[in-house]
Amino acid sequence: MSEVKHNTLEPLGSLSMTDRVENILREYFTENGFKPGDSLPKEMEISQKLNVGRNVVREALSRLRMLGMIETRPRRGMIMAQPDLLAGIEKVLNPLLLSQDNLKDIFELRLILEMGISEFLFARKTDKDLAELEDIVSKQKDAVVVSKEEEVAFHGKLYEMTGNDTFKRFQNLLMPVFEHVFTEYYDKGIHRDIPNPVTHHDLFVYLKQGTQEEFRKAMYQHLEVYFKTITAR
Amino acid sequence: MSEVKHNTLEPLGSLSMTDRVENILREYFTENGFKPGDSLPKEMEISQKLNVGRNVVREALSRLRMLGMIETRPRRGMIMAQPDLLAGIEKVLNPLLLSQDNLKDIFELRLILEMGISEFLFARKTDKDLAELEDIVSKQKDAVVVSKEEEVAFHGKLYEMTGNDTFKRFQNLLMPVFEHVFTEYYDKGIHRDIPNPVTHHDLFVYLKQGTQEEFRKAMYQHLEVYFKTITAR
């Protein structure tokens, strides 16, 4: 185990000893091609080889454990594990803590994702999915303004229909932040003044019977009030 | 500070004491409306109030420090900070560790994002951006197959042109995983047999002079070899 080589002398900045040990360990795993299930050196061995205190090593390992990169198994000790891709992002999605720039970015990211899924929806839609979606929209009575729960039910079903679990989970994570930011914009006077609003029911009909181009155009119109904010600022 | 209330008796599963303290602390921050800059209770105080050892508290705090949620400032002690949205995901994006399902999902996620950005590109493109993009494509001599560096240069510039830093960083993070998965698919016999390939130069021309619809259609054709994999399996 050796630390990153420095070609130039740069300030170590705010890197603590724990940050450095964490970085060294992740680099060590990558460079040695560790795979899930592989046994890892013990805490004490790492402490001795790196010549750092056990408390520091324990903290660094605890961070990796949080990300799902390592696990401790009875009788086997510490092993490499399959990390949870979204564990970190899930933990920090607190609108009160994120910067305004981050919140704006997340707001826009949902729009990008929402506009990018039509290929997947048309490639993977099934009769069963469409029946479930019809059930969801029939309860919304072709309303232009729906409740937060109805919004989540409809768009959440679309995310599920992409057949991509990570995407589905990611979009669902972003939703509360999206709500938070939109409420701010809404309060600033961007209102639902679209002349011919496209409802969830309309989107369902295009997805069932229309072309992919028609569906995508309708989705744009459905989200138009949000798209207005990307050029309005 | 109190732990989550349980309405039903459920197994605690694999939650360690550190996991529990970490969850309690994040919940405490959210429920009390902590904002970046706010002072936080000291390690010893947390340890006493929760009646858990200081080592456990130190580990939980170290995890939050890694996510950028808390910082220690000279003379001020521990304060709430602005977390880095992508810190967690960045650390686990090691193709050797992620599951095949996660890798497939990330591969598809890039396609979804790539197809979703046309509204942003057309709303925000500037003459300066287009000049820089022209410079990038002019070096690629209208080639159908480009190097990895040329691929990153072109698509990376598009991500930058969205004006969304989080999106740009996220897409750049996904790129190595995308390469990794595509190489696997490619080896299985999905080849570049598209009759009329759309090059980076073509995409540039559509972005500069064409309509948003033309650009998006061209982007689909440009990525068609990848899209084949989403229905081929």
Confirm whether A30 is domain-assigned: yes
B176 token code pair: 């190595």
Pair (B161, B102) in one structural domain: yes
Pair (A107, A218) in one structural domain: yes
| CB nearest B105 (choices: A62, A166, A213) | A166
Q: Last residue of some domain: A80, A101, A117?
A: A80
| Chain A residues close to B63, C-beta within 8 Å | 62-63, 66
More confident residue, B191 or B182: B182
Confirm whether B6 is domain-assigned: no
Q: Last residue of some domain: A25, A49, A80?
A: A80
Dihedral through CA A174, CA A179, CA A180, CA A181, nearest 10? 90
| CB nearest B98 (choices: A85, A106, A112) | A85
Pair (A47, A144) in one structural domain: no
SS3 assignment, position B207: helix
Dihedral through CA A77, CA B63, CA B83, CA B168, nearest 10? -20
Q: Last residue of some domain: A80, A103, A121?
A: A80
A158 token code pair: 């679309």
Q: Regarding beta strands A77-80 and B70-73, do their DSSP bridges make them parallel or antiparallel, or are they unpaired? A: unpaired
Q: Are A116 and B111 within 8 A, CB to CB?
A: yes
pLDDT on residue A9: 54
Q: Closest chain A residue to B87 measured between Cα atoms?
A: A88
Q: Quick one: which H or E segment has residue B70?
A: strand B70-73
Dihedral through CA B201, CA B206, CA B212, CA B216, nearest 10? -40
Helix axes B148-161, B200-209, angle to 10 degrees: 20
Using alpha carbons, list the distances in angstroms from residue A152 to A143, A145, A179, A180, A184: 15, 13, 11, 14, 19
Q: Nearest Cα to A70, choosing from B18, B175, B160, B209?
A: B18
B contact test, residue of A105, A174, A221 with most B CBs within 10 A: A105
Query: Domain holding B143: CATH number?
Result: 1.20.120
Q: Are B84 and A98 within 8 A, CB to CB?
A: no
Pair (B55, B104) in one structural domain: no
ipTM: 0.85
**Spatial distance between the Cα atoms of B199 and A227, rounded to a whole number of angstroms:** 29
**Spatial distance between the Cα atoms of B210 and B212, rounded to a whole number of angstroms:** 7
Cβ proximity of A214 and A206 under 8 Å: yes
| Chain A residues close to B34, C-beta within 8 Å | 96-97
Q: Quick one: which H or E segment has residue B55?
A: helix B54-66
pLDDT on residue B11: 56
Q: What are phi and psi of A210, to 5 degrees?
A: -85, -175
Q: Is the pLDDT of residue B91 over 70?
A: yes
Q: Is the pLDDT of residue B173 over 90?
A: no
Q: Closest chain A residue to B116 measured between Cα atoms?
A: A116
pLDDT on residue B70: 96
Pair (A33, A137) in one structural domain: no
Pair (A217, A146) in one structural domain: yes
Q: For chain B, how many structural domains are there in total?
A: 2
pLDDT on residue A6: 47
Pair (B101, B204) in one structural domain: yes
Pair (B68, B100) in one structural domain: no
Using alpha carbons, list the distances in angstroms from residue A127 to A18, A211, B36: 53, 16, 48
Confirm whether B199 is domain-assigned: yes
Confirm whether A27 is domain-assigned: yes
Pair (A215, A127) in one structural domain: yes
pLDDT on residue A195: 67
Pair (B51, B149) in one structural domain: no
**Count of positions (residues) in chain B:** 233
Pair (A69, A107) in one structural domain: no
Query: Domain holding A71: CATH number?
Result: 1.10.10.10
pLDDT on residue B1: 45
Q: Is the pLDDT of residue B42 over 50?
A: yes
CA distance B176 to chain A (A): 14
Q: Nearest Cα to B216, choosing from B125, B134, B114, B137?
A: B114
pLDDT on residue A175: 81
Confirm whether A9 is domain-assigned: no
Cβ proximity of B118 and A114 under 8 Å: no
pLDDT on residue B186: 63
- Spans of chain A, pLDDT less than 50: 1-6, 233
pLDDT on residue B147: 80
Pair (A201, A98) in one structural domain: yes
Query: What range does the domain containing B172 cover?
Result: 87-232
DSSP A76: T
Q: B131-146, pLDDT tens digit by residue? A: 999 999 999 877 777 7
Confirm whether A111 is domain-assigned: yes
Q: A77-90, pLDDT tens digit by residue? A: 999 999 989 989 99
Q: Is the pLDDT of residue B172 over 90?
A: no
SS in 3 state form for A187-210? Answer: HCCCCCCCCCCCCHHHHHHHHHHC
Query: Mean pLDDT over residues B7-12, rounded?
Result: 53
Confirm whether A1 is domain-assigned: no
Confirm whether A50 is domain-assigned: yes
Q: Are B63 and A63 within 8 A, CB to CB?
A: yes
**Spatial distance between the Cα atoms of B124 and A2, rounded to a whole number of angstroms:** 45
